[in-house]
Amino acid sequence: MARKVLPPDEIAKRLPSLRAWSLNGDRLERSWTFPDFAEALAFINRVGVLAETADHHPDIHNSWNRVTLSLTTHDLGGLTEWDFELAKKIDAIH
């Protein structure tokens, strides 16, 4: 299916289904806090498996027990269905 950058009204329509995520410019972002670095890293690795399977990869920031994921579709320069689909999959594994 052809993908395109979603217009603002389409983004607004989809946001309520991802309550833990926030829109930061043209990115979807969510942060998690874990008991320690090892658990944060294990989460990153689980996300990595999802990302490889979907061939869609979040930008990942880690600071000890904290992980922030930032989703955008680099190839198209904005948010697409791929980002919303990946966010839902990530929510399902946390």
Residues interacting with ligand H2B, by CB under 6 A?
A: 55-57, 73-75
Of 40 and 86, which has the nearer Cβ to ligand H2B?
86
Which residue is nearest to ligand H2B, using beta carbons?
A: 75
Of 36 and 75, which has the nearer Cβ to ligand H2B?
75
The whole-angstrom separation of Cα 33 and Cα 17 is 21
- Residue bearing tokens 């990942």: 60
Least gap, CB of 32 to ligand H2B (angstroms): 18
Least gap, CB of 41 to ligand H2B (angstroms): 20
Least gap, CB of 35 to ligand H2B (angstroms): 28
Q: Which residues of 67-90 are buried (b: 16+ CB within 10 A; e: fewer)?
A: bebbbbbeeeebbbebbbebbeeb
Least gap, CB of 54 to ligand H2B (angstroms): 8
In contact, 94 and 50? CB cutoff 8 Å: no
